[in-house]
Amino acid sequence: MKKILVANRGEIAIRVMRTARKMGIKTVAIYSTVDRNAPHVKFADEAVCIGEAPSSESYLLGSKIIEVAKKVKANAIHPGYGFLSENADFAEEVEKNNIIFIGPKSKAIKIMGSKLAAKDAVKSYDIPMVPGIEEAISDVAKAKAIAREIGFPILIKASAGGGGKGMRIVEKESDLESQMQRAISEAISAFGDGSVFIEKYISSPRHIEIQVMADTHGNSIHLFERECSIQRRHQKVIEEAPSVVLSSSLRAEMGEAAVRVAKACDYIGAGTVEFLLDENHNFYFLEMNTRLQVEHPVTELITGIDLVELQIKVARGEKLPFTQDELEIKGHALELRVYAEDPLNDFLPSVGHLDIYKIPSGNGIRVDNGFEEGMDIPIYYDPMLSKLITYGKTREEAIQLMSKAIDNYSIEGVQTTLSFGKFVCQHEAFTSGNFDTHFVKKYYTPDVLKAEMESEAKIAALIALQQYKEDQKIVRLPIH
Ligand code: MV4
């Protein structure tokens, strides 16, 4: 593999190219017209413009991207996350053109793209699942009977949904009919597939996911968990590894279950198996993400493994260079997603010009970044600016470092979620580890953030005043 085309933009395109370069592999960037001066374009050895700003006219043009790959003689395509990364047809077309798709086979992507197909695939693999049904349902009377059996509240989910889209909680039987009709029509309009199913609603879960890796020689391993419960409207805010709530035996059990999920769909490459963990520490399989995830760096920091390097090695047909027993967790890592969004204004995208953009650095600090000072933030794509990742011997150390690193960002021109990240890091429920997926809803209002920002501004003003007084003393001295 001499040349990889990265079919993505922003921080993940750069992150992938960094490892390719380290391995002596040439890199090709693709870009849309608004991205012509973007950092990922400058970073690549070669770059090709593939269309206009809207993703549908550029980063989502699978056939065009394949044409470009052939023209520049790239041997492989890395899709990053988002865009074409979980498009089974794209993966298949890439391979048909004798280009290596750095990711799983199309079949695995297809199975895991449908929640019902996923349940069906894993059912003989002894995977704990949320009580519910395993097939699409449209008959209301039947749904009522099932709901009565599993007990309210229940959750209606769209089979083609993901990331919380198309979910409806039903508290009581009298609401079931209308909610089901809404769920079905929503699923038809959003996904073109009206299949819905029913599960028991787990009311206060934690979201724990397991990183898995499989080679083409039949070896599958897991790289422990990431805790992703701190999220806002299904958008993850802070992720960490390891989770504070897993005992080593539960970790091993969940890890082994995740590996079985991977085996159930003949998985190859890097994947993530999502679980819900209830208050009694029962875990349930939710879905599998068949891509490298945004939050993969926390796993890299606690295992010392470069996941992109592993993806590339597996794609080249190499064996995994270690066994499960050789892996261990060392230290603790946190990741904050820094978005150009205004936490005081319902997290509305705050796109604009990056007048000042300075990122922190230092021991235990990693910033996976896709922007630079002086750039405009395009309105066409995800407004994530960078990922601030910190690593410490202990969780406390990683949290302290995160708080400090947040202060060492300097961004002007747009609002960001940095202050919101600080709020989370300082919150007792977060520092104590006693939280679930409802953390943000439960504790966050713009007012608490405002109050915190004002008191910090006051402290900063007092420090400045103190310093000013000290400076005055010094300059007066020589006069005497
Ligand atoms: C659930 C659930 C409770 N009970 N399933 C949301 C995203 C999708 N991956 C599955 N999700 C959930 N499924 C049952 N049976 C609660 C959620 C959920 C959630 C899951 C993970 C992280 C954040 C979440 C926020 C709200 C709801």
* Ligand 1 atom at minimal distance to the Cα of residue 203: 3
Confidence of residue 450 (pLDDT cuts 50, 70, 90): confident
CA distance 420 to 453: 10
Residues 6+ apart with CB under 8 A from 158: 115, 165, 166, 167, 183, 186, 187, 190, 191, 193, 195, 196
Q: What is the DSSP letter of 162?
A: -
Q: Give me the pLDDT at residue 452, please.
A: 82
Q: Whose CA is nearest to atom 15 of ligand 1?
A: 201
Q: Give alpha helix (H) positions in 1-102.
A: 10-22, 39-43, 62-71, 88-96
The catalytic residue among 168, 260, 291, 366 is: 291
Mean pLDDT, the chain, rounded, equals: 95
CA distance 141 to 229: 35
Return the residue matching tokens 């019902």.
Answer: 116
Full-model pTM: 0.94
Cβ distance 76 to 94 under 8 Å?
A: no
Q: What is the DSSP letter of 78?
A: E
Q: Give me the pLDDT at residue 113, please.
A: 94
For 185-205, what is each residue's pLDDT tens digit?
A: 889 988 889 899 999 999 999
Confidence of residue 468 (pLDDT cuts 50, 70, 90): confident
For 404-426, what is each residue's pLDDT tens digit?
A: 999 999 999 999 999 999 999 99
Structure tokens at 7: 């079919």
* Ligand 1 atom at minimal distance to the Cα of residue 132: 15
Higher pLDDT, 466 or 280: 280
Determine the residue type at 421: G
Q: Give me the pLDDT at residue 458, please.
A: 85
The yes-or-no verdict on residue 475 having pLDDT over 70 is no
Higher pLDDT, 165 or 444: 444
Report DSSP letters for 126-150, one per residue: ---B-SB-SS----HHHHHHHHHHH
Question: Cα of 412 to ligand 1 centre, how many Å?
Answer: 35
Q: Give me the pLDDT at residue 477, please.
A: 64
Pocket test for ligand 1, best of 191, 286, 287, 289 (most atoms within 8 A of CB): 286
Cβ distance 306 to 253 under 8 Å?
A: no
Q: Give me the pLDDT at residue 256, please.
A: 98
Q: Establish whether the linkage from the previous residue to 242 is cis, with ω within 30° of 0.
A: yes
Structure tokens at 182: 């809404």
Residues 6+ apart with CB under 8 A from 359: 367, 369, 386, 388, 409
The yes-or-no verdict on residue 18 having pLDDT over 60 is yes
Beta strands in 147-203 (DSSP E): 154-158, 168-170, 196-200
Confidence of residue 236 (pLDDT cuts 50, 70, 90): very high
Q: Which helix (H) or strand (E) holds 4?
A: strand 3-6
Our answer to whether residue 291 is catalytic in this structure is: yes
For 286-299, what is each residue's pLDDT tens digit?
A: 999 999 999 999 99
Pocket test for ligand 1, best of 154, 156, 157, 167 (most atoms within 8 A of CB): 167
Determine the residue type at 34: V
CA distance 291 to 311: 10
Determine the residue type at 213: M
Lowest model confidence (mean pLDDT) among 68-82, 169-183, 340-354, 448-462: 448-462
Cβ distance 397 to 330 under 8 Å?
A: no
Q: Give me the pLDDT at residue 299, please.
A: 98
Q: Which value, to the nearest 10 degrees, does the dihedral of the CA atoms of residues 189, 54, 109, 122 take? A: -50
Question: Cα of 150 to ligand 1 centre, how many Å?
Answer: 17
